[in-house]
Structure 1
Amino acid sequence: MTASGKRRHLSVVPDVPVIVRPSERRGRRRVAGYHLRIELDDVSPPIWRQFVVPSNLRLHEIHPIVQTIMGWQDSHLHSWVGGEPPASERYDMRESIDEGFADEDDELCEDAVRLDQVLAEPGEQLSYLYDFGDGWEHTIVLERIDADDSEPTVTCLAGARACPPEDCGGPGGYDDLLKVLATPSHPGHHDAGAWVGPGFAPESFGVDTVNRGLRLEAVIRDHPPVSDSKFAALLRRIPHQAAPHVFSLLEHAHLTDRLGDIREAQEAATFHLRWFLNRIGPDGITLTQAGYLPPAVVAEMRQELPGFDDWPATSNRESDQRPVHLLREYAKALGLARKYKGKLIRTKLGSATASDAGRLWAHLLDRLPLADEPIEREAGYLVLLTLAAGTTSVERRDVIAEGLAALGWQTSDGTIVGREEVFWLARPTISFLELTGAMVKGWVQRDQPMDPVWGRLFAKMVLSM
């Protein structure tokens, strides 16, 4: 009855199921070990892996793990699909969303979704799509949850068969490729073998090799470079499986840490240039008839600048004193000085930074590594990484060679860049670092890290730009 005494007609309202979308789940309160199985769809015999990850990782953190587990090279776009229809959702890369490649009606970013929001109970599945052209689809199944007190280490437990080569045409193309490789009489057998390379074995899988890659992946995840830096962009072009030594240095470089006296680093890194700019002065330095610095100025530089008196020649001619000549050339290359009517004069920037270590420091951070060619710049970045990580000279040469090879650089005869060539390729940056004292001279011979702390901080800051 209602308050007015009239009888109200009541009807039964049917239950309407509430659809909880995967990304709306709250996730687990405590981190658990997720035992997952991933299998490549539409490939026979199956290519699969079993692995363990922490439940609290976000999907963009799971992506490089999946790449390493499977053996892909991370050279294409990817996305995820979680849940069952009608509650399924697609999770895209931040890059895909920003560039407008994702569906405008369903723009959920992978970096906003935790794994335990899309996989909550054993048996639930998540799809991983890689290379939209070839169309590699993977099914990930949550097999078991370990809810003990320790956070699990990302580990591969088992697997079968090698990952297909990149860009082979998806499941159908891979099947055709395997048939050609297995048929020596096929007209395309030789070319197919040359394309996949001599090390490709379809039936091979090594769990130890995968776990070595996962340990590197953990270093990248725990000790990343500044995400929007030029160096980070360079690292994204290097497959970490091809350059393990390069990526292992991230753990020692601590690129996002700023430990050390920044003012001391600014003063030390800019000392030689500031001294030279002040010596040029507002009126400039009249050069010799041959276009060199006067002997008196050279003698003064050798006396006043640290390290300049170590050069073996006793002559005060600029052509005999390599450090003097290098400092002059670097001042010009950095836009701080120029030659004008028989004089060496300061540019506007040179005058503005002559007594301003902070501003000159910022200019150096923006201009380094020094290079005329792309390969010199990339070699310079690798030099700076070794300096930031405190490596020995022997390690430095190996790291640069490994990194350049992984980036695809080759010599004119088609061979990879070797340890013998790296000094010349990285020479512009190495010479500048040695000249300023950021790196100890004679790097090829040293077998102990001796570079100053401020030099390491300087390198970190350059790599953060």
Structure 2
Amino acid sequence: MTASGKRRHLSVVPDVPVIVRPSERPRRRDVASYHLRIELDDVSPAIWRQFVVPSNLRLHELHPIVQTVMGWQDSHLHSWVGGEPPASERYEMRESIDEGFADEDDELCEDAVRLDQVLAEPGELLSYQYDFGDGWDHTIVLERIDADEPAPTVACLAGARACPPEDCGGPGGYADLLTVLATPSHPGHHDAGAWVGPGFAPESFGVDAVNRNLRIEIVIRDHGPVTDSKLAELLRRIPHQAAPHVFSLLEHARLTERRGDIPAAQELATLHLRWFLQRIGSDGITLTQAGYLPPAVVAEMRQELPGFDDWPATSNRETDQRPVHLLREYAKTLGLVRKYKGKLVRTNLGTAMADNATQMWRHLLDRLPLGTEQIEREAGYLVLLTLAAGTSSDERRDVIAEGLAALGWQTSDGTIVGREEVFWMGRPTITFLELIGAMVEGWVQRDQPMDPEWGRLFAQMVLSM
């Protein structure tokens, strides 16, 4: 009763449930082994994998593992959905957010959320969406947590059936493709077989092959290039499943290790160019009537510069001495010299670097790899990677050919780039490195690594830019 004697009307107010989204959950204090199962939605018979990962991975670190265990080529956008409604939330790629593709009201980035937040208890689910055009949805379930293993690692345990080909039209398109492939009388049977390639077997799955690719993922994580380097940008465009040899070199390239004797490398890498600029001097060199270096200067270069006296021709004409002509052309390409009123003269940049090995070194690091065409520069990065990793000439050809093919380059007749064409693709960088002595010529090196240690250091530094 109230003070006035009137009865108060009371009602029960229900408790408002507290919604805790996955990203707001606490993270595990320890690092456990998460046993996961992933299955491709709306595909029958099922395509699935069982694999183990550390619980402390962020979702952007889990992404390449999912791509590898499934067998995708990582050539499309992806996203995640965690939690159950009304607590579910979406996690987007950093690129999708930065470029405005994500929903402005739902812009949680995958690199800000850990796996042990979205999957905290066995039985919880995480959705992984890949290629929004084809619409490949995957369901990931946490099957078991093993907190007793001393060093959680990444491994594939089991699976069934091959991953569908990229760009085949999603679950419906894949079902149609399998029907066509299984029906020799179908009018599209031949074209479908040519499109998927002779090696495609829908029922096949090899756990050993998956684990080999997962080991490459570990190499990328532990020995990869500087995140914002140009090499890192190039490698992001290469599906590592298509170029395992390229990525295996990262461990040997030592891109993340402490550098060696940089001052000595600077002196050796810039020796030829600095000598040439000093010889030109402030007055320049008067060229012959035909526009070439005079024979006396050519003879001097052959005598003074390492490796130049190895050229078989005995004439002192520039046209007969390829190393001399190349050094002049590279000095011009690098913006160090120019022709002026019948003379070869230094540019302001060349004058500043003639006596400064450190400044010249920095200029070379910034300009390499060389080439005017995109394919020349991409081949040049692969050349530098093989140099940093200490490969033989034969291995170098194989790696460059594999990398260029994975980047999508083809010859004019539509075939993939072979090991015999790679010299021409990477010629500007290869020739320069051989000219300054950073890399031994292929016909000398053959199947044994013989490149100098300072050349490897030079390549490591270029690849870190």
Same fold (TM over 0.5): yes
Q: Which moved more, 1:13-22 or 1:414-423?
A: 13-22
User: Is 1:397–1:444's contact at 8 Å kept on the other side of the alignment?
Assistant: no
Letter in 2 for 1:291: G
1:197 aligns with 2:197: yes
User: Cα deviation per residue 1:87-128 (whole Å; 9 max; x = unaligned)?
Assistant: 111111110111111111121111111111111110001000
Offset of residue 353 of structure 1: 1.8
Q: Percent identity?
A: 87
The equivalences for 1:82-161 within 5 A come to 82-161=82-161
2:246 aligned residue: 246
Task: Measure how far apart 1:453 and its partner are.
Answer: 2.2
The answer as to whether partners of 1:260 and 1:453 remain within 8 angstroms in 2 is no
Q: What letter corresponds to residue 190 of structure 2 in structure 1?
A: H
Secondary structure at the residue paired with 2:167?
Answer: coil
Once residues 12 and 193 of structure 2 are traced to their aligned partners in structure 1, the CA distance between those partners, rounded to angstroms, is 70
- CA separation in 1, counterparts of 2:35 and 2:218? 18
2:262 corresponds to 1:271? no
Query: Are residue 34 (structure 1) and residue 34 (structure 2) matched?
Result: yes
CA spacing shift, 1:143–1:187, aligned 2, 3 Å: same
Q: Distance in 1 between matches of 2:453 and 2:29?
A: 42
Q: Distance in 1 between matches of 2:317 and 2:444?
A: 28
Trace 1:230-241 onto structure 2 (pairs within 5 A): 230-241=230-241
How far apart are 1:12 and its partner, in Å? 8.1
Who is 1:410 aligned against?
410
TM-aligned CA distance change 1:211 to 1:149, over 3 Å? closer
Q: Tell me if the contact between 2:21 and 2:87 (Cα under 8 Å) persists in the aligned partners.
A: yes
Alignment match, 1:222: 222
Give the match for residue 207 of structure 2: 207
Match of 2:297? 297
SS of residue matched to 2:53: strand
More deviation, 330-339/422-431: 422-431
Cα offset for 1:148?
A: 1.3
Q: Give the counterpart letter for 1:329 in structure 2.
A: E
Name the CA distance, whole Å, in 2 between partners of 1:216 and 1:136.
Answer: 24
Counterpart position of 1:439: 439
One-letter amino acid of the structure 2 residue matched with residue 347 of structure 1: T
Does the 8 Å contact 1:394/1:444 carry over to 2? no
**Distance (whole Å) between structure 2 residues aligned to residue 246 and residue 443 of structure 1:** 22
CA distance in 1, matches of 2:310, 2:182: 64
Give the whole-Å Cα distance in 1 for the aligned partners of 2:445 and 2:456: 19
**Do 1:51 and 1:158's aligned partners in 2 also have CA atoms closer than 8 Å?**
yes
1:175-220, CA deviations, whole angstroms, 9 ceiling, x for partnerless residues?
1211222222222222222211121111111111111111111111
CA distance in 2, matches of 1:193, 1:440: 44
Tell me how large the CA RMSD over aligned residues is: 1.8
Match of 1:61 in 2: 61
- Asked if the contact 1:313/1:320 (under 8 Å) is kept, the reply is yes
CA shift for structure 1 position 248: 0.2
SS in 2 for 1:105: coil
Residue 250 of structure 1 and its aligned partner are, at CA, apart by: 0.5
For residues 442 and 239 of structure 1, the distance between their equivalents in structure 2, rounded to whole angstroms, comes to 28
Asked whether the equivalents of residues 39 and 49 of structure 1 are also in contact (C-alpha less than 8 Å), the reply is yes
Q: What is the match of residue 168 of structure 1?
A: 168
Structure 1 unaligned spans of 5+ = 1-9
Deviation at 1:381, TM superposition (A): 1.0
Residue pair 2:392, 2:445 contacting (<8 A) in 1 also? no
For residue 306 of structure 2, what is the aligned residue in structure 1? Answer: 306
- CA offset digits 1:382-409 (Å, max 9, x no partner): 1100011111222112111221222222
* CA displacement at 1:78 relative to structure 2: 0.3
Give the C-alpha shift of residue 446 in structure 1. 3.3
Q: Which moved more, 1:53-62 or 1:309-318?
A: 309-318
SS in 1 for 2:105: helix
1:6 alignment counterpart = none
Change (3 A) 1:427 1:17: same
**2:371 aligned partner, one-letter code:** A
Distance 1:263 1:62 in 2: 41
Once the two structures are TM-superposed, the CA of residue 72 in structure 1 deviates from its matched residue by: 0.6
Deviation at 1:22, TM superposition (A): 0.7
Aligned to 2:425: 425
Give the unaligned 5+ runs of structure 2: 1-9
Q: What is the CA–CA distance in structure 1 between the aligned matches of 2:451 and 2:11, rounded to whole Å?
A: 83
Aligned match of 1:20: 20
Q: CA deviation at 1:443?
A: 5.3
Q: 1:7: which partner in 2?
A: none
Counterpart secondary structure, 1:156:
strand
Secondary structure at 1:351's aligned position in 2? helix
The runs of at least 4 aligned residues of structure 1 exceeding 6 Å deviation read: 10-13
1:181 correspondence with 2:169: no
User: In the alignment, what sits opposite 1:361?
Assistant: 361
Matching of residue 49 in structure 1 with residue 49 in structure 2:
yes
Q: Which amino acid aligns with 2:411?
A: T
Deviations 1:24-79 (A, max 9, x none): 22211111111000001111111110001111111111100000111111000000
Which letter maps to 1:104?
E
Q: Could you tell me whether the CA contact under 8 Å between 2:33 and 2:149 is conserved in 1?
A: no
Instruction: Give 3-state SS (helix, strand or coil) of 1:106's partner.
Output: coil
Q: Structure 1: how far apart are the matches of 2:14 and 2:437?
A: 79
Supply the AA of the counterpart residue of 2:145: I
Of 139-148 and 320-329, the range deviating more from structure 2: 320-329
- Amino acid in the other structure paired with 1:376: E
> Where does residue 6 of structure 2 map in the other structure?
none
- 1:211-241 C-alpha deviation (Å, 9 max, x unpaired): 1111111111111112222222221222211
The whole-number CA distance in structure 2 between the counterparts of 1:73 and 1:108 is 24
